[in-house]
Structure 1
Amino acid sequence: MNKTLDEKFDDAIWVAHSLFNRGKASGSIANLSFKHEDKIYITATGTCFGTLKRDEFAVIDLEGNPFNELKPSKELPMHLAIFKAKPDVEAVVHVHSTYSVLWSFVPGLDEEDCIPDHTPYLKMKLGTVGLVPYEKPGSKELFHEFDKRVNTSDGWLLAQHGPVAPGKSILEAFFALEELEESAQIAWELRNRL
């Protein structure tokens, strides 16, 4: 069933509030986007997941051309790269969650699948998680490194930065992100106990 724009907004705002309220996103450093018809709705620069409202989304097309006056998140090029490379993706969520960031510091990770699947759910909900080398957030260098890896994995971990999860809906992207963070926590805890 195709959701209306209002329903997609409701889902996106619920996802943002849920992530913020449970400490998976903080301040104004997370972003999410979703597609509706021929437009992309992405959180505007400086928005906070904890207080996110409908009028805080920049609206653009796949080429980045604006339909309103809000400035999109500085990580818009990463969202656009995913939408262009993976036509079945309808939404993307990016946060700076603790265990994913911690795990990105572990040396010797497989760049095409960097988080161990100690439980079956990471592969079921997302798939492989590629590691993108550290570059300054919002920089051309980061987007260049991301573009080189957008087709080699199903989700991504930006080193020293945070996870990026796509989905066929905002809820699917949220579930994938939750599993990615949970898997990173399990991997981190096991690494420190074994």
Structure 2
Amino acid sequence: MSATGPASPPRLDAGSEDERDLRDQLAQVGAEVVRAGLVVGSGGNLSARRPGDDTCWVTGAGTWLDRLDRPSFVRVRISDGSSEPGLVPSSEVALHLATYRARPDVTAIIHLHPQMALLLDALGERVRLLTTDHAFYVRRVGTVPFFPPGTAELAEAAAAAVADGTNCLILSRHGCSVLADSVELAHKRASNLEEAAHLTYRALALGRAADLTDQPPPAVA
């Protein structure tokens, strides 16, 4: 305590520990999803924000998800898409911003290119949720038709598709968008989505996909 009284609490700005922690969490997830094969090269992008905040951290354009550090992220205003001069945000930033506007409850978005989920979608096969983890984390899988990556059309279609509470969305011939109220939960959902896709594919290869049923509603509850 100073001679003039108790110190004022630190401002929560771009340099505070609370804000930087979001970037650390995203960087860790980036490395883990690359190791899991959910994205390759400089594909995919990540974002997070504090609850109710009008700004979010988004991976910068061209960044590799397994090489992220704090300077790899750009702070972007959700309401108008503005950002400070310097690193350019990901080309998919519109997807993230439109989703945050449609879902005030969401504080983390993971956009990846999971090969098995995309293959099933291209074949016209839906991902079956076979285990209790699939049912709990994924709950349901939405889809949107193909729109060119980085376009306003894709961002608007994706935001509309998750407005009903859907948290796992397949973007046809492109990738997935997974939402949550924490970075950790978004990661768990993305992992379970691809695991469910792998099991669905194995059932198709065995000629037994017709025998699969999703976990019943009590499992979700």
Q: Does the TM-score normalized on the shorter chain lie above 0.5?
A: yes
Amino acid aligned to 1:187: T
Secondary structure at 1:99's aligned position in 2?
Answer: helix
- The Cα of 1:116 is off from its aligned counterpart by 1.4
Amino acid aligned to 1:151: A
C-alpha distance 141-39 of structure 1, shift in aligned 2 (>3 A)? closer
Alignment partner of 1:142 out of 150, 154, 168:
154
1:72 paired residue number: 89
1:43 paired residue number: 59
Alignment partner of 1:131 out of 122, 135, 143:
143
- The Cα of 1:117 is off from its aligned counterpart by 1.1
Equivalents in 1 of 2:54, 2:153: separation in Å?
28
C-alpha distance 126-41 of structure 1, shift in aligned 2 (>3 A)? same
Equivalents in 1 of 2:162, 2:63: separation in Å?
26
What aligned pairs does 1:158-173 form with structure 2 within 5 A after superposition? 158-173=171-186
Amino acid aligned to 2:110: V
2:103 paired residue number: 86
Amino acid aligned to 1:120: T
Q: Is 1:18 matched with 2:6?
A: no
Structure 1 alignment gaps of length 5 or more:
none
Deviations 1:16-40 (A, max 9, x none): 0111123222111110000034420
Identity %: 27
- The Cα of 1:5 is off from its aligned counterpart by 1.9
Equivalents in 2 of 1:68, 1:125: separation in Å?
37
2:133 paired residue number: 121
Equivalents in 2 of 1:68, 1:56: separation in Å?
14
C-alpha distance 151-185 of structure 1, shift in aligned 2 (>3 A)? same
TM-score (norm 1): 0.89
Equivalents in 1 of 2:148, 2:25: separation in Å?
30
> Number of paired residues?
187
TM-score (norm 2): 0.79
Q: Is 1:192 matched with 2:205?
A: yes
Kept in 2, the 8 Å contact 1:81–1:150? The answer is no
1:181 paired residue number: 194
Equivalents in 1 of 2:120, 2:69: separation in Å?
32
Equivalents in 2 of 1:188, 1:44: separation in Å?
33
Question: Larger C-alpha radius of gyration, 1 or 2?
Answer: 2
Kept in 2, the 8 Å contact 1:163–1:180? The answer is no
Runs (4+) of structure 1 moved beyond 4 Å?
none
Equivalents in 1 of 2:175, 2:67: separation in Å?
21
Equivalents in 2 of 1:126, 1:97: separation in Å?
14
